[in-house]
Amino acid sequence: MSYPYQVKSLEEYKAAYAKSEADPGAFWAEIASHFSWRKKWDTALEWNFTEPKVEWFKGGRLNITENCIDRHLEKNGNTPALIWESNDPDEAHRSLTYRQLYEKVCQFSHVLRNNGVKKGDRVCIYMGMIPELAIAVLACARVGAIHSVVFGGFSAQSIADRIQDAQATVVVTCDGAFRGAKDIPLKGMIDDALVTCPSVKRVIVCTRTRTPVSMIKGRDTWWEDEIRKVETQGLTDFPAEEMDSEDPLFILYTSGSTGKPKGVVHTHGGFMIFTAYTFVNMFQYKPGEIHFCTADIGWITGHSYIVYGPLGAGATSLMFEGVPTWPDAGRFWQIVDKYKVNILYTAPTAIRSLMGYGTQYLEGYQLDSLRVLGTVGEPINEEAWHWYHKNVGKEKCPVVDTWWQTETGGTMISNLAGITPAVPSFATLPMPGIHPVLIDEKGEEVKGNGVSGNLCIKYPWPAILRTTYGDHERCRTNYFATYSNLYFTGDGALRDENGMYRITGRVDDVLNVSGHRIGTAEVENAINMHTGVVESAVVGFPHDIKGQGIYAFVIYSGGHSNDEQLTRQDILQTVSRVIGPIAKPDKIQFVKGLPKTRSGKIMRRILRKIAEGETAQLGDTTTLLDPGVVEEIVVGKV
Ligand code: WTA
């Protein structure tokens, strides 16, 4: 078997691209025809970027899980769909064939129904990386509920914000999660969150760590008990809820440059087509291969390329509970050899971190099953690219550098493994169907090659975000109002002499720390919640492993102690409580004042330069209210 929508040569890529440019609707409709629909769509594409309104395959009826599971049962029921590797290298792995996954998803769909979940309800999922997480996600989709997965590294406050925003009625969680040497008390975190979440009527708790938990009568129930009930009732199949192509599939919260994280909404039809198409094409997936994406399902990469994309293509997806450096920095390589992994998809931050441990951790591993390597989440520096290519790929595996975002649902710019050229540190060429443009400071399109600008996209693609949950205006102002008739990515890019794209990073106030998106405003709000803090300003700075680190300038009024070190730790605790440990600043500098314009705006440009150590080129500071503060900050740099 191969895929009718797989591009197999450079010529085919060019032809597909030209076709998609001439008529995006017809291009994607042809691809969509290879998936299973209960009813075919009436119109392939209706759109305008002014409202914005984008509708793909309108009138089409389907359920994404029928494509991801049922469709494969007849011919590939015994093919492994999910393979799971524990955090603990000595614990037995688990493997679910498509048939077994089908049974598990149907059972849990019954559990959701039995607990009152209806089509359109929001279910918050806060779990570690165990197969039940993927099962819960798919069961939500099957019953027509909208899942909102929250990454296990977020605090109770962040969970509460997300539950309240979505008005979720059910939470699915675990007693705890293992991550390296740590045991994270997930249920305890949920209990803290739920104090302020009256919408939640039911909490389903899956056993993993056997951490003691409190189970509240009438609200909390064990996953295993619920499954037993379904088994006693003799319920096996669960007919998938028939959805409209444009019905929401999930919400995933992501940081922007202002305010609280926004709930990016994706839909059944478009997400299904785009994730499967991009998965098959960028990796040039061949049936039977083992695909290992090291992301967490709490982020978009896990949604698209652990769950929906690979399963949509009938592939075998390996999910890993642990971390790359525990018990030692050879963990990934051990997993690759153990399962004969063919495709390894990871983040530049993981590569840089492993590079730092040295190549001795690769010794003794064959890695000869690998065929394709991929990276995602942040720009990859050339050194890390070459290290990955040479030491992991033995110079025989194409490295695909895949650029995309939570809002794009799947890969937008990337080389296609072995088909289109790879250039270190370049995402290279757009996927068929994706039409990038670069815009200059005046808002004009910069044409031709050897140019740079703000990266925008011209036409809709099937997995473009449809809205931000509960606040469509926010979606419009964030993505569609900066430039008329264009989707604005928030990234800057250059297009070289050969038309290859290199992503240069965010041009807004969003940081990318270890591939995690964090808004500077969010971190500032969290810091400002600490009692002694008067004001703060947060910027990014280059960090060898994380890509970007978080640098906070803080005006502190003096608190109960005069101990700077203790105050720093108090502030870190505050950020941890409000957002989560992932948002803790790497550096905190106490300052007397912040560089502000006469109108009171913080000049971040100057702070960024200072944090980057480029104090010699601070630019014009004469427009500042008090140019003296800059000198003081430079002197006090940490
Ligand atoms: C950045 C992750 C350079 C970019 C899938 C984008 C990248 C943000 C790349 C989205 C890449 C992602 N090269 N930069 N290959 N991939 N980015 O929403 O700044 O977590 O806007 O989605 O990560 O992060 P998000």
Mean pLDDT of the region 365-370? 98
Decide if 10-63+246-506 and 98-241 have a common fold: yes
pLDDT at 560: 66
Band (pLDDT 50/70/90 cuts) for residue 125 is very high
Give the global pTM: 0.96
pLDDT at 559: 66
Ligand 1 nearest-atom number relative to CA 510: 19
Amino acid at 437: V
Do residues 102 and 70 touch, judged by C-beta distance below 8 A?
Answer: yes
Question: Residue whose CA is closest, atom 10 of ligand 1?
Answer: 405
Task: Report how far apart, in Å, the C-alpha atoms of 194 and of each of 153, 413, 426 are.
Answer: 17, 40, 44
Q: pLDDT tens, 40-93? A: 999 999 999 999 999 999 999 999 999 999 999 999 999 999 999 999 999 999
pLDDT at 259: 81
Q: Is 607 in the pocket of ligand 1 (CB under 6 A)?
A: no
Mean pLDDT of the region 611-628? 83
Mean pLDDT of the region 573-592? 96
Band (pLDDT 50/70/90 cuts) for residue 517 is very high
Higher pLDDT, 392 or 637: 392
Question: Residue whose CA is closest, atom 25 of ligand 1?
Answer: 405
Q: What is the CATH number of domain 10-63+246-506?
A: 3.40.50.12780
Q: What is the CATH number of domain 98-241?
A: 3.40.50.980
Q: Is 517 in the pocket of ligand 1 (CB under 6 A)?
A: yes
Q: pLDDT tens, 376-388? A: 999 999 999 999 9
pLDDT at 302: 98
Q: Is 403 in the pocket of ligand 1 (CB under 6 A)?
A: yes
pLDDT at 167 over 70: yes
pLDDT at 621: 79
Closest by CA position to 153, among listed 177, 123, 132: 177
Ligand 1 nearest-atom number relative to CA 401: 15
**Which residues does 555 contact at the CB level (< 8 Å), separation at least 6?**
533, 534, 535, 536, 590, 591, 592, 593, 594
pLDDT at 557: 87
Q: pLDDT tens, 259-270? A: 889 999 999 999
Q: Considering the chain, what is the average pLDDT of its residues?
A: 96
pLDDT at 627: 83
**Sign of the alpha-carbon dihedral angle for 360, 362, 366, 372:** negative
Q: Is 402 in the pocket of ligand 1 (CB under 6 A)?
A: yes
Find the 379 Cα to ligand 1 centroid distance in Å.
Answer: 7
pLDDT at 435: 97
pLDDT at 1: 58
Tell me which of 2.60.98.20, 3.30.300.30, 3.80.30.20, 3.40.50.620 is the CATH number of domain 510-635.
3.30.300.30
Q: pLDDT tens, 548-581? A: 999 999 999 876 667 888 899 999 999 999 999 9
pLDDT at 457: 98
The H-assigned helical ranges of 7-57 are 10-22, 24-32
Q: Where are the domains of the chain?
A: 10-63+246-506, 98-241, 510-635
How far apart are alpha carbons 467 and 474 in whole angstroms? 8
Kindly report the number of other CB atoms within 10 A of residue 280's CB atom: 24
Q: Which phi and psi (to 5°) does residue 513 adopt?
A: -105, 115
Q: Is 506 in the pocket of ligand 1 (CB under 6 A)?
A: yes
Band (pLDDT 50/70/90 cuts) for residue 3 is very high
pLDDT at 616: 80
Q: Is 335 in the pocket of ligand 1 (CB under 6 A)?
A: no
pLDDT at 419 over 90: yes
Mean pLDDT of the region 606-635? 87
Ligand 1 nearest-atom number relative to CA 503: 3
Find the 406 Cα to ligand 1 centroid distance in Å.
Answer: 8
Supply 483's token pair: 């430039």
Percentage above 70 pLDDT, the chain: 99
Q: pLDDT tens, 271-316? A: 999 999 999 999 999 999 999 999 999 999 999 999 999 999 999 9
Mean pLDDT of the region 194-204? 98
Supply 342's token pair: 């063919």
Q: pLDDT tens, 344-362? A: 999 999 999 999 999 999 9
Task: Report how far apart, in Å, the C-alpha atoms of 447 and of each of 142, 427, 452, 494 are.
Answer: 45, 19, 9, 11
Q: pLDDT tens, 459-476? A: 999 999 999 999 999 999
Supply 117's token pair: 């979940």
